[in-house]
Chain A
Amino acid sequence: MEGGFLSKCMGGEESNRMTVNKKIRQFFLPSLTPKFLIRVCLVALIAYLFFGYLCIPFMIQGISMEPTYHNGGVNFCWRLRYFFSEPERGDVVAVRFAGSKVMLLKRVVAQEGEQVEFRDGKLFVDDKEMKEPYVRYPCNWNLPPRRVEKDCVYVMGDNRSMPIENHHFGQTSKSRIMGTPLW
């Protein structure tokens, strides 16, 4: 009786183990049923649309946004950020060239109609000196005043330790702004 009970228990354990093994195998090597294939296709399609058009992954190459964003860092460009709003001063934005494969990561420092100027490394917008806590490296840039045109913003990197002619900055059309980094 005792032996029969034990063998029954062992049989139960055996079948439990087999069920778990089957479940694990099913999880890692699922059988190719039509339902499963449809699910895979749907996930792939959603991932393609999401990461291809809404939340584009990118890798930072360059030091123009140091120390806020480091060379080699990975981030995502959130494209819906400016769907219902406009870029504001202080926002970090991704500026496109011909498409989304290569973009520039810059900070908006002035908006349309405003006057931008650099005096001894200090940024002035409409003759007011701007506080820029994100700029850590001092510079001695001088840039004569210029007004930002309609439907444009003035963008610049946070790292201004290089000579002014070696830094990519300036006025760009708002239509070129693809979005903002997720973090």
Chain B
Amino acid sequence: MVKIKYLLAGVLIVIIGILAAVIFFPNEEKRVKKQFNLLSEWVSKSPDENTFMMLQRIKNIGTLFDEYCELKAPDQSLSGSYRREEISTYAGSARSYFSQLDLKFYDFHIVFPEKEISKVTLTARLTGRSTTGEQVDETRELECVLKKIEKKWLFSAIEIVEVLKK
């Protein structure tokens, strides 16, 4: 009985240790995912968002991008290399069309082809309501490239994958 007690305590300590290691020392994959979570948080918009919050979020969005980011979104007539500030401005004007916006990412596939580069394939789903009251529900597959610059993973390329070709 005493032995079982010690065994259980040992197992519990090991589990707590593993959990602590995972939480306090995140691996690179987690750090990459965190950038997507931040992007999702800052792009999303609630109906009660005030101007100060809006400006803060638009500014924050820019900090997630590399100085130049390659965008390939033929559907949205967005193709080419854009500066961080341009992306912030574009995100700001795009957000202003919506009264409510929710961006979520699913099905992450993260690979590291080089040491400071990560390639992420995922599904992005944007739902919300436009200022005119129109319901929006768009899902796209994205291929993103992030570069590690000064210990931060920054978006350097985003491409929309064509799942259905008309």
Contact = CB atoms under 8 A, between A and B. Distances in A.
Interface string B120-144: 0111010000000000010111100
Nearest to B137: A62
Contact of A97 (B137, B139, B166): B139
A61 B164 contact: no
Given A98-B107, A102-B139, A170 B166 contact: yes
Given A61-B137, A62-B137, A98 B121 contact: yes
Given A61-B137, A98-B141, A99-B123, A168 B109 contact: no
B166 A169 contact: yes
Contacts of A171: 164-166
B106 interface: yes
A176 B162 CA distance: 12
A55 interface: no
B122 A98 contact: yes
Interface centre among B123, B164, B165 (most CB of A within 10 A): B164
Contacts of A98: 106-109, 121-123, 141-142
A95 interface: yes
A104 interface: yes
Contacts of B166: 143, 169-171
Contacts, number: 51
B107 A97 contact: yes
A169 B141 CA distance: 15
Nearest to B122: A98
B107 A172 contact: no
Interface in A134-183: 143, 155, 168-172, 176
Interface residues of B, number: 17
B123 A102 contact: yes
B18 interface: no
Contacts of B122: 98
A100 interface: yes
Given A98-B122, A102-B139, A169 B107 contact: no
Contact of B164 (A62, A100, A101, A172): A172
A98 B142 CA distance: 8
Contacts of B164: 95, 104, 155, 168-172
Contacts of B94: none
A82 B107 CA distance: 22
16 contacts: A61-B137, A95-B163, A97-B106, A97-B107, A97-B141, A98-B108, A98-B142, A99-B106, A101-B107, A102-B107, A104-B139, A104-B164, A169-B164, A170-B164, A171-B165, A176-B163
Given A97-B107, A98-B109, 13 more contacts: A61-B137, A97-B123, A98-B107, A98-B123, A98-B141, A98-B142, A99-B107, A102-B139, A104-B139, A170-B164, A171-B164, A172-B164, A176-B163
Interface of A: 61-62, 95, 97-102, 104, 143, 155, 168-172, 176
